Amino acid sequence: MDADIVQSVARYAEGVLGEEGFRYVSAVVANCKMLAWELEAQEEEAPAPALDRDIDMNALAIAGYLHDISTTQHGANDHVHKSAEMAVEFLLSQDAPQALVRKVEQIILSHATISSEQDTPIEARILYDADKLGRLSGLAVVTSLIEFGARYPNRSVSGDVLTAILRHIEERFIDLYQSLHTNPAREMARDKFNRTLAFLDGVIEHLSDSTPV
């Protein structure tokens, strides 16, 4: 039953989010599954306090598909609560078990904030990490620069200004990596994280004498 609901959720997410949005959440779901499998494999080798119960893979996948479901209709503001509401509404329309509905709602509501491990379900921690893994790469730096250009299209950018922007991006990048909850996520992100930091440091070093562009 739950597996059928996962497929219905995927189709619903694709219809609401469109091709690009669905591609992103599908990547998040794939990351969720990889992280969950890695955590369970590590648990078999050395039991960890974080896994005092089995990971609910169906609830995790559903939450992965629906965690941003409200953004196309309502934008990014308060999207966590709105997405949780839309998720509950859709799951109830599919006659999903109440326990599953409550679990998915809890995962979505919890995943976006960083709190103590005791207060956050393991599925929410996995979803948080899976959602952030795609942002820990050089592409995220390019995206940040594009967003800056779109926000300030007529602004002259000197070497000093660009250096300040890149330092800010670097600080956010480090904070994001350090916020990851699970060891598998940190291991998966480590190489990209280190390469991106090296790239940023190299660019910043060569910008000291830049002129406006």
Domain end, chosen from 102, 127, 152, is at 127
Let me know whether 198 and 101 are in one domain. no
Let me know whether 175 and 79 are in one domain. no
Let me know whether 91 and 24 are in one domain. yes
Task: Give the pair of three-digit tokens for residue 56.
Answer: 């609910």
Let me know whether 123 and 143 are in one domain. no
Which is more confidently placed, 196 or 113?
Answer: 196
Let me know whether 122 and 179 are in one domain. no
Residue 109 lies in a domain: yes
**Number of compact structural domains in the chain:** 2
Span 23-57, pLDDT tens digits: 999 999 999 999 999 998 887 665 555 555 689 99
Span 54-76, pLDDT tens digits: 899 999 999 999 999 999 888 77
Residue 14 lies in a domain: yes
Let me know whether 142 and 194 are in one domain. yes
In this prediction the pTM is 0.82
Alpha carbon distance 112, 61 (integer Å) = 16
Let me know whether 41 and 115 are in one domain. yes
Range of the domain at 41: 2-127
Residue 109 phi, psi dihedral angles, 5° rounding: -65, -30
Q: Helix (H, G, I), strand (E, B), or coil: what is residue 118?
A: coil
Alpha carbon distance 180, 182 (integer Å) = 6
List, as one string, the DSSP characters of 147-209. HHHHHSTT----HHHHHHHHHHHHHHHHHHHHT---HHHHHHHHHHHHHHHHHHHHHHHTTTT
Domain end, chosen from 73, 106, 127, is at 127
Query: Kind and range of the H or E element at 13?
Result: helix 2-45
C-beta of residue 25 within 8 angstroms of C-beta of residue 60: no
Alpha carbon distance, N-terminus to C-terminus of the chain: 58
Judging by beta carbons within 10 Å of its beta carbon (0-12, 13-18, 19+), is residue 173 exposed, middle or buried? buried
Q: CA 153, 154, 156 angle in degrees (round to 5)?
A: 110
Alpha carbon distance 38, 58 (integer Å) = 16
pLDDT score recorded for residue 1: 52
Alpha carbon distance 89, 201 (integer Å) = 47
Let me know whether 86 and 152 are in one domain. no
Let me know whether 144 and 112 are in one domain. no
Task: Give the pair of three-digit tokens for residue 34.
Answer: 């990889």
Residue 212 lies in a domain: no
Residue 164 lies in a domain: yes
Let me know whether 170 and 109 are in one domain. no
Helices (H), 46-137: 57-66, 71-74, 79-93, 98-111, 122-133
Let me know whether 68 and 154 are in one domain. no
CA dihedral 7, 110, 73, 177 (to 10 degrees): -90
Span 141-199, pLDDT tens digits: 777 888 877 887 877 777 788 888 889 888 988 998 999 999 999 999 998 889 888 98
Domain end, chosen from 94, 127, 160, is at 127
Residue 213 lies in a domain: no
